[in-house]
Amino acid sequence: MTAPQDFRNAVPQNPPRRGSLECHHGHSPRQPSPAALNALNGHGDPGKFGRMFPFLPPLVVPDEALLDLARAMKDPDPGGAAGNNPEVPAGFTYLGQFIDHDITLDLTPQEVQREDPLATVNFRTPALDLDALYGPGPALAPYLYQRDPATGAMTPKLLVGRATASPDEAGGLVPDLPNDLPRSSAGRAIIGDERNDENLLVAQTHLAFIRFHNAVVDWVAERTPGLSAAELFDEARRLATWHYQWIVLFDFVERLTEPGLVRRIRREGRRFYRFRSRPYMPVEFSAAAYRLGHSMVREGYNHNRVFRFGPGALAPATLGLLFAFTAKSGAILGNLAAGAPAGAFPPVGPQASLPSNWVIDWRRYFDFGGNPDGVTVNPSRRIDPMLVPALHTLPGAPSEKMGNLAFLNLRRGVLLGLPSGQAVAAAMGVAPLDPQDIADAGPDGAAAAEHGLHRTTPLWYYILKEAELLREGRRLGPVGATILAETFLGLVHGDHRSFLWMRSNWTPELPRADPDTFTMTDLLNFVGDINPVG
């Protein structure tokens, strides 16, 4: 047992009472002051990461303490129903990953981040603009787009790939299906961001957005005949992007926080995520709050009628298999598969293409209402500090530390100089969690207390613990919800091509179940082909 350490430099020992002047951003009073006026320093370049709370001191924690805490963050019953979150279907876990790849891409080496976190470059535009889908557009990335077979001219539609016929669970055959990402002869996904081929669920989510854009092209062409190909592409992209932004704000964010929160912040104004003219990517969001998705991951899924739990199925869709049926992380090699050794790429062996029996059944990942054909929706796991065992032993890692995703997240927060959760709560005017409540809640709480981290707590872990203690793991608590909602709202509002900027009273136009909103199930229904395998 090591002696508890109190990292007291990370939070005031007597945090300001709620409602006091000191509770405002940066602990500054309401009237102008140098601290308040300088709060946006370092945020002027939209290509950089920045801080919501630039004047809060960083939390410094040694690796040994972080590793002890990370080890305790392993779900002891990853398949147990008690760890399920019935309010958030599992599809939102991978929609969240798709969104993440749309707004962030950090190629900065960790040693550079340690020297100057604010020099970390975001190589993705910090906007919900679907640039991971469209790339730089047809003129600069023609390889992403379909061509007219009669003329060879570019069309406004994105390429779609095919999944190859493969056996089903009853000895029959699932035929070829147009339900994969487009791929090169070497199997690589021909998409705007290769990270969307790192597991099959985010790959199928990316494909859903490809097909959504293509369906919108048809919808616009039918209602506005006579448009040129360029005009048709621009209008379809606008509509697809605005409906996507609506989904993110009102179906995704408000599902993970609380209904009406985005609208309330929009009405009252963002208090903490502020920028001069163009959005930056706050590290409190990218390295802490938005990593909530890691706690939502399941070890296995009911994927379609072939790969699911229960009698008659071939196998459940485990994380290992979902990573295997990709090119970036797995075994899809295109023409190279023929020359690969037979024992390579376990557990599935070399694959020339995606087998059609692995195409997704969307009814198992989003709630379409009712219980069609006896199909039940995979719930996500609760938003809490417990990560499934597979995320504690990442494949190919050179050491225990580097293979433990919980440790990597905690360490990244330290390298980026994130403040403690208690410091952020105090800056927001939110009553921080009681240290004893943290310490008493599970083996992770005991591990945190052993190192004094129940009093000054790493921000990522604090946000997960807040969700567990205050919201039963069903949604985020006040600190996490505020960071998430303000950031996403700011990213949309700061994009001069977004619906909030160009037409603030806009509402969805495409067919939908509820005239007042547009959801991910509306998008999938608009595309059709909900269950291609049958």
Q: What is the pLDDT of residue 21?
A: 25
Query: What's 305's DSSP letter?
Result: S
How many C-beta atoms surround the C-beta of residue 14 within 10 A? 7
Q: What is the pLDDT of residue 447?
A: 98
How many C-beta atoms surround the C-beta of residue 152 within 10 A? 7
Let me know: does 104 contact 124? Beta carbons within 8 Å. yes
Average pLDDT over residues 508-517: 97
Question: DSSP string covering 107-156, please?
Answer: ---HHHHHH-GGG-BB-S-SSSS-HHHHTT-TTT-GGGEEE-TTT--EEE
**pLDDT beyond 50 at 18:** no
**pLDDT beyond 50 at 479:** yes
Q: What is the pLDDT of residue 22?
A: 27
Between 72 and 19, the more confident residue is: 72
User: Alpha carbon 514 to chain centroid distance?
Assistant: 25
pLDDT tens, position by position, 432-459: 999 999 999 999 999 999 999 999 999 9
Q: What is the pLDDT of residue 9?
A: 34
Largest CA distance in the chain: 75
**pLDDT beyond 60 at 61:** yes
Q: What is the pLDDT of residue 415?
A: 95
Q: What is the pLDDT of residue 62?
A: 97
**pLDDT beyond 90 at 3:** no
Count, residues in the chain: 534
Average pLDDT over residues 256-283: 94
Q: What is the pLDDT of residue 493?
A: 94
pLDDT tens, position by position, 28-47: 223 333 343 344 554 554 45
Q: Which pairs with CB-CB distance under 8 Å and at least 24 residues apart come from 211-215?
A: 211/160, 211/527, 211/529, 212/240, 212/523, 212/526, 212/527, 213/133, 213/134, 213/157, 213/158, 213/237, 213/240, 214/157, 214/158, 214/160, 215/526, 215/527, 215/528
Residue showing tokens 């950089």: 48
pLDDT tens, position by position, 372-398: 788 999 999 999 999 999 999 998 899
Task: Let me know if 55 is exposed, middle or buried by CB neighbors in 10 A (0-12, 13-18, 19+).
Answer: middle
**pLDDT beyond 80 at 5:** no
